[in-house]
Amino acid sequence: MWWDAFLSAALAVLAVIASPIVAAVGLPRAVLFGFGVATIGCALLLAAFGAITAVLLVLRLRDGQYQLPARLRLPLPAAMRPPTR
């Protein structure tokens, strides 16, 4: 779950901060290619981690475990966290 939060932040930084810099400065093609690969890589990893988390939670639900795992730490503010055991 913490990797999801890290990759979300990394992808947001790439999209919000680096994209305008790349567009304004006019960097070489190799740098643009590296930027594109990094962005696609972060997006694919984020999607894969989300899919893994979803599958694991669905498997728990199928087994009749309707509470979140005891050691699961959600990167959310305290008021938004669902109750755990």
Residues 24-83 pLDDT 10s = 888 888 888 988 888 888 888 888 888 888 888 889 999 998 887 777 766 777 777 777
Q: Is the pTM of this model over 0.95?
A: no
Burial of 42 (0-12, 13-18, 19+ CB in 10 A): buried
74 φψ region: left (φ > 0), alpha (ψ -120 to 50), beta (else): beta
Closest CA to 5 of 77, 58, 55: 77
**Domain residue spans of the chain:** 2-63
- The 10s digit of each residue's pLDDT in 13-27 is 877 887 788 888 888
Residue 7 burial (CB < 10 Å; 0-12/13-18/19+)? buried
